[in-house]
Amino acid sequence: MKIGLVLEGGAMRGMYTAGVLDVFLDNRIAVDGIVGVSAGALFGVNYLSGQKGRAIRYNKRFNRDKNYMGLRPLLREGNLFSTKYAYDEVPRMLDPFDDARFKASPVPFYAVVTDVATGAPEYIRIRSVFDQMDALRASGSMPIVSRPVKIGEKYYLDGGVSDSIPFEWLSAQGYEKLVVILTRDRAYQKKAMPAAFVRLCAGKYPEVVEKLLERHTLYNRSVLRLNEWEAAGRAFVIRPSEAIRISRMEKDPERLQAVYDLGVRDGSRRLEALRDYLEQT
């Protein structure tokens, strides 16, 4: 059976995912395909490059830099994260990403993006992180605080706008067993965004506006569906054992480390059950 791995986004809640994936690396948990959304894509690539600890390391190091993330790049570039600093200098020079090892992996890796013209999700296969950095950047480009990213003749934003937890898409690609890493605890219910605010900030992209206004309904429905799959043995879900209470743009290294450590603890605690699930035919 083909095993698929699904990585939810959530900005700095993605430190939880990074912790779980580092447990997978330590214990040689192998999968046959991966799909990541937003932070799930941006941090998940380190799993295929085998770079344990990289995601937590560079976020603790750079998040406090006002030129890396925050108001300064937002005013200068229209993006909360500096395109040059965060997506070029860090992975190429300051904390190098091993793109050669990523490309050598036989495991397909997909990043979810949202077409701003249609509001529909697209699933882009990433064969080289450096060559396709714009696709990863698009997957993590949160509406309102990011400019759409042009790829070919289209413009894209955060994949979480249109498909926050793409487990059904990955299943449709022929993956019979799914492992899903969420960044919200079981009790979480997404609430509606203020309609006036959404229309004010994203009004030039009407299809994105509509997706944002219905996102809470779509997200909560997706979680309920995933819970059904989990109960039926169609998916193995790892989710935070407690609510993660950090800012989406968290800068405090200790708080980032605490979320990462929670991922390590939860991943380690579920390891035996995960192995049992993967061994079942």
Residue 222 confidence (pLDDT): 98
Q: Which of 59, 48, 79, 69 is nearest to 16 (CA)?
A: 59
Residue 71 confidence (pLDDT): 87
Q: How does pLDDT run along the chain (281 residues), one tens digit per residue?
A: 899 999 999 999 999 999 999 999 999 999 999 999 999 999 999 999 999 999 999 999 999 999 999 889 988 988 989 999 999 999 999 999 999 999 999 999 999 999 999 999 999 999 999 999 999 999 999 888 899 999 999 999 999 999 999 999 999 999 999 999 999 999 999 999 998 888 877 778 999 999 999 999 999 999 999 999 999 999 999 999 999 999 988 999 999 999 999 999 999 999 999 999 999 87
Q: Is the pTM of this model over 0.85?
A: yes
Residue 198 confidence (pLDDT): 86
Check if the beta carbon of residue 12 is closer than 8 Å to that of residue 59. yes
Residue 204 confidence (pLDDT): 86
Exposed e or buried b per residue across 109-123, where buried means at least 16 C-beta atoms within 10 angstroms of its C-beta: bbbbbbbbeebebbb
Measured CA to CA, the distance from residue 5 to residue 40 in angstroms comes to 11
Residue 143 confidence (pLDDT): 87
Check if the beta carbon of residue 55 is closer than 8 Å to that of residue 49. no
Cα-flanking dihedrals φ and ψ of residue 167, to 5°?
A: -70, -35
Structure tokens at 239: 């989710």
Partner residues linked to 37 by β-bridges: 112
Residue 123 confidence (pLDDT): 98
